[in-house]
Structure 1
Amino acid sequence: MATGRGRALASFRMGLEKVQQENIRAPSNTPSSTLKKNEMQSDTTKTKRHETTRKHHRKSESKGATVRLRNPVSRSQNYFERMPPEILLKILSYLDAASLFCIGFVNKKFFELSNNNAMWYRIFTNESEKMKKWKPKQTDEVAEGVNAVSIQEKPEGYWKRLYFRKMTGYNENKWKRQLKAINPYTGLPRLTEQVLRDLRVTWEITVTDKRGRESTVQQTHAYFSDSSVSVCWSDGSWPPFHQLSMLQLHGVKRVALDCPAVNKPGWRSLIAKHDLHDVRERGRVIGSDKLVNLFHLAPGLIIGLWRGHCSVAFVMMNFHFHKLVERSLLGSSICPYTVPEDRPAFDDVDPEYGLHGYTVHILLHNTVKHIMSGHFSQLFCKTDQIREGFIQLNAINRNDLSQHTPLSGKIDLPWKTEGLDGSVQNCCMMTLTVLDEAQNPFWCVSTPITMLLSKQEPVSYDYGGEPFFMRHQDSEGKVRVELVWLAEQGQFFLTNLVIYIATAKVNKHFGRQY
């Protein structure tokens, strides 16, 4: 029994050994062998990787440098850069105008995508359908934008700029109707200030230095009179005055989009451009106080310079109301609005046609108050009174005391910056409007003017005060104002006002040969 049981156990053990030997000799493509092989390879790979990492750390520690291991997730961080442009354009096509405009500030790639003509053309046409006042037939730009080919042929960003331009002036017919109401006292549209405020028109300055770097300054405040507006720019960082090469004035109308005010889109219309390379030769100092010197650049531009530093403290500009709304809205960023000529019909019956029927409105003011306002009608000049290429219009005669006009207050020009303010004496703004016989603006001037002590003996003995005068001259005419300071009354009296208009301007306007 014992012997038989021992033989059975011995044979069972021999069978188990044979099975183990067959499993070891089994082919490598069996599941069990594959699993074992993969486990062995993974263990080997992990071992090699750990050994490589240890060697890398030892090498970096030996060099004394800090080495960061590459993040395995960094390959998939920026999904947008790896997406095709077609997919990105499809995603951006679901944005509204405000979001599409703001996303252009993310980076260069999004800026290029956000200027896509097809997307902005779709936004443009959708807005034109919502606003019935927009008639595509009134815009010649839309006439050819019917098919996709012509849309894409336009320069990049064309429909974006056109959309913002139409958004800023889609009620153009409305404000043009408002400007038809004329003020009989000034001869200018009476609702100019209201239209500018309703449209939220502002003015900005772009200065360029000699290295070509540009900086833009927004207006700080504006003062409206009955025929002009004085705008001041006193905030911001100005380049040194001797490094300025170009100064541009733009009218700006922002679009009411839900985005930051600094980046709000809008339309910029060039009003004036001044080359400042030879500014010291063409300009002149018209006044000063303890802190600033006023440097005048025609027409109507004043640059305030800190005394002793020659750095810019502020810039001041006086805009005449004549076609100011059109000049602030209907020009482009590089080309100003051209005022159309309104020439009357030729009259061959009247031998002195063009020499009579003039109306003059003059306003002396500063950035705070009115100093003097006068309206003079039916001014004329005889043919034999034409002297040295000018026709002479006498508004106030020094020998007629009934025409003499007192001035309210002193003649000064206040200024203000972020931390300082002051006032320049004997300097103010003059706004002159000359209307022709048909009561159309003929010569419009808005400029700073300086009062000087007259060296001539007073002709009239009715006043015992000191005589002063103010004068202005440009290519189209000149103005001379004479005043007397009465110390007892503590005010000035305007005793003489003469307007000279260039004969060449009269001949061109009326078709004459004086």
Structure 2
Amino acid sequence: MAAGRGEFFRSFQEGLQRLPVQPAPGRQQPSRGRGRPSAGPERGRAGSGRRKKRVEQSSVHWTESYKPRNAKVCFPFRTLPASTENFIERLPSEILIKILSYLDVSSLFCVSHVSRLLHQLSNDNILWQKIYEAEFGSHTWKPSSAEEEEETAEEEQKQEEEECMVSRWKKMYFNTVARQEIKKWRRDLKDVNPYTGLPNQTEWVLRNMNVSWELTVSSCTGWETTEEQSRAHFFETSVILSWSQGFIVKYRHLSSIQLYGVRKETSRSLKTRKPSWRSQILNLNIKTSPFRHISKDSLITVLLFKPGIIIGMWRGQDQVAFIMISLHFHKLVERSLLGSPVCPYSQPADPPPAGDSDPELGLHGYTLHFVLHSTGTEIMSGRFRQLSCLKGRVFSGLLVMRVINRTDLSQHRSLSGSMRLPWRSCELEGTVENCCVMSLTLLDVFQKPFWCISTPVYICLKNPAQSLDYSGRDFLMEHQDPEGRVTMRLVWLEEQKQFFLISLTVFISAAKINQHFRRAY
């Protein structure tokens, strides 16, 4: 809307300043007299002189672009002399502000980028005060003492040097809109589940805010595509996103993958589509990031990247078949809405909690919520309380927490279902064998989320077997990142046709503990 008005002003000014068009070389300028033009000098010299004089006085020129191909007579048009004067600036500021007052907020914001004059007038303080009062009611702005203390002399001098200071009412308008929008969904996230330590309404808020996720895949050859997720599988503490179409690039040509949270604005009219805000969640460099081959069959080969990214390739073609990403619910709403298109959301640093245990005694009172699942079924879920770690259990900069002890048979857990991760690509579908998704939520002594991960894990055979209480084969599942490591040991019982989880150990980075509690472990 505003872009159309800006284009109208520019075309109007260009029409007023258009340079005169010169006639084509060798072409005689026709006369404006009535009747047919003279065929030679013998016909009416006086009349031709008068007609010639009129032509010189009227500054009428022909233009080749307006002449039809088979026409004998073309109608001339009159051009004005060139002028460098800006006719918009000749209007009084009061009239221009009155015109701008009829625009809505989005149109007024777009008009401010047309020229310096319109930028200055569109930031008029009184204009934005009326907009604010019309939207939010009467309000008198008064600077608080905190704001006066924060404004230093250097900032005031910098604002005075600017040609056009942004209106305080304009700032307050956008801040009020942002606060109201954030308060709306943060109010819904205050209800915390005591079992998981996460908000109960995370999935509901994401769906209510019309949030989706887009994947931008770039190649070394300059090819780039952006695709919305094909499916989203929500669970208690995580969501699995999958993309199964639109990839025509070979894996060896991939350069990077960016994941964005996108909030789509609902429009009343199908013709008008508002741009969506994109919040970057992760940016993966394919060429420099390590990966592991976790599975393969007759159709695909599966690669696992961190954090929680699976890329499936067609065997023998080296072409991407599907991409799957697992995201934990912790701060997922903020990461999907409050980030920028080029930078992920950065969580503000919280002050160190008071009343932490003495470093000499170690950690105690921790709670772990642990889930193993696929895209459709839950394989195992458990909540483990009163986890502790003595100071002597620090190995290679990692604090060790024994969640399930291998020697305690009462703690062992059976896994329901099979270790398979279904996938789909266009018309084909299958399963990734010996693979599932691990969603881990570690709560500190204050029952606040301390370490949250959601990532695919896979099973590998453990040799030699260490279980003396079971006659089956031993397997191992592991995950490791800069913040910690998780180790799981399983036994496959052939008679029951199921896995038993006989050991679960969580390793926490001492650097993460020291940064969170301001202690020295």
TM-score by length of 2: 0.71
Give the structure with the larger helix fraction.
1
Deviation string for 1:173-213 (max 9, x for gaps)? 12112212111111111111111111111111122222445
Asked whether the 8 Å contact 2:357–2:364 carries over to 1, the reply is no
Which residue of 446, 469, 474 maps to 2:476? 469
Q: For 1:359-370, what aligned pairs fall within 5 Å after superposition?
A: 359-370=367-378
SS at match of 2:35: helix
Cα-to-partner distance string for 1:86-129 (whole Å, 9 max, x where unaligned): 9999999867678999xx9xxxxx99769986779979974774
The alignment partner of 1:402 has SS state of: helix
Corresponding residue to 1:507 among 510, 514, 518: 514
Q: Which amino acid aligns with 1:382?
A: L
- Equivalent of residue 229 in structure 2, options 219, 223, 231: 219
Q: Distance in 2 between matches of 1:153 and 1:208?
A: 40
Q: Which residue of structure 2 aligns with residue 307 of structure 1?
A: 315
- Contact 1:168/1:266, CA 8 A, preserved across alignment: no
Q: Distance in 2 between matches of 1:513 and 1:507?
A: 6
Matches of 2:336 and 2:138 in 1, distance apart? 22
Please give the alpha-carbon distance, in whole angstroms, between the structure 2 residues aligned to 1:185 and 1:74.
83
Deviation at 1:166, TM superposition (A): 8.0
Structure 1 partner of 2:12: none
For residue 512 of structure 1, what is the amino acid of its counterpart? Answer: R
Deviation readout 1:38-74 (Å, 9 max, x if unpaired) = 9996234699xxxxxxxxxxxxxxxxxxx95589799
What is the aligned partner in structure 2 of residue 186 from structure 1? 196
Alpha-carbon shift at residue 464 of structure 1 (Å)? 1.9
Question: 1:100-499, aligned counterparts within 5 Å?
Answer: 126=131, 129-131=134-136, 170-258=180-268, 260=270, 263-279=273-289, 282-345=290-353, 350-352=358-360, 354-461=362-469, 463-499=470-506
Moved more, 448-457 or 380-389: 380-389
- Find the aligned partners of 2:248 and 2:272 in 1 and give their Cα distance: 18
User: How many Å separate the matches in 1 of 2:472 and 2:353?
Assistant: 48
Q: Which amino acid aligns with 1:487?
A: E
8 Å contact from structure 2 (residues 219, 253) kept in 1? yes
After TM superposition, give the deviation of residue 504 of structure 1 in Å.
2.0
Contact 2:247 2:321 in 1 (8 A): no
Q: Deviations over 1:296-319 (max 9, x none)?
A: 211111122121112122211111
Distance 1:292 1:136 in 2: 63
- Preserved CA contact (<8 Å) 1:247 1:273: yes
Distance 1:488 1:114 in 2: 79
Contact 2:438 2:454 in 1 (8 A): yes
In structure 1, what is the Cα distance between the partners aligned to 2:76 and 2:247?
A: 41
State the alpha-carbon separation in 1 of the partners of residues 140 and 461 from structure 2.
Answer: 60
1:437 alignment partner, SS class: coil
Which amino acid counterpart does residue 455 of structure 1 have in structure 2? N
Partners of 2:404 and 2:76 in 1: CA distance: 82
- Cα distance in 2 for partners of 1:73, 1:215 equals 51
Deviation at 1:508, TM superposition (A): 2.2
Distance 1:276 1:151, change over 3 A: farther
Distance in 1, Cα, partners of 2:207 & 2:328 = 16
- Selected match of 1:42 from 35, 42, 46: 35
Which residue of 1 is the match for residue 5 of structure 2?
A: none
Are the counterparts in 1 of residues 362 and 391 from structure 2 also a CA contact under 8 Å?
no
Separation of aligned partners in 1, 2:329 and 2:141:
31
TM-fit CA distance, 1:263: 4.7
* Matches of 2:259 and 2:443, distance apart in 1: 27
CA distance in 1, matches of 2:132, 2:267: 13
1:435 deviates by 1.0
Instruction: Give the unaligned 5+ runs of structure 2.
Output: 1-30, 41-67, 79-85
Q: How does 1:8-157 map to 2 (within 5 A)?
A: 42-44=35-37, 68=69, 126=131, 129-131=134-136
Which amino acid is the alignment partner of residue 317 of structure 1? Answer: I
Q: Name the % identity.
A: 43
Amino acid of the residue matched to residue 36 of structure 2? D
Partner in structure 2 of residue 63 of structure 1: none
Counterpart of 1:178 in structure 2: which amino acid?
A: D
Checking the alignment, whether the CA contact within 8 Å between 1:449 and 1:470 is kept in structure 2 is yes
Q: Contact 2:465/2:473 (CA < 8 Å) preserved in 1?
A: no
Q: Is the 8 A contact 2:422 2:432 kept in 1?
A: yes
* Cα separation, 1, equivalents of 2:76 and 2:37: 27
Would the aligned equivalents of 2:361 and 2:390 in 1 still touch at CA under 8 Å?
Answer: no
Larger Rg: 1
Q: Which runs of 5+ in 1 are unaligned?
A: 1-37, 48-66, 77-82, 105-109
Q: 1:153 to 1:491 in 2, by over 3 A?
A: same
**Residue type at the aligned position of 1:42:** G
Distance, in Å, in 1 between the alignment partners of 2:437 and 2:413 is: 18
Instruction: For 2:421, give the aligned amino acid.
Output: L
Offset at 1:372? Answer: 0.9
Tell me the number of residue pairs that the alignment of Structure 1 and Structure 2 aligns: 433
Q: After superposition, what is the alpha-carbon deviation per residue over 1:233-290, rounded to whole angstroms, capped at 9, x for unaligned?
A: 22324433222222211111122234559953221111111122335xx222222232
TM-score with structure 1 length normalisation?
A: 0.72
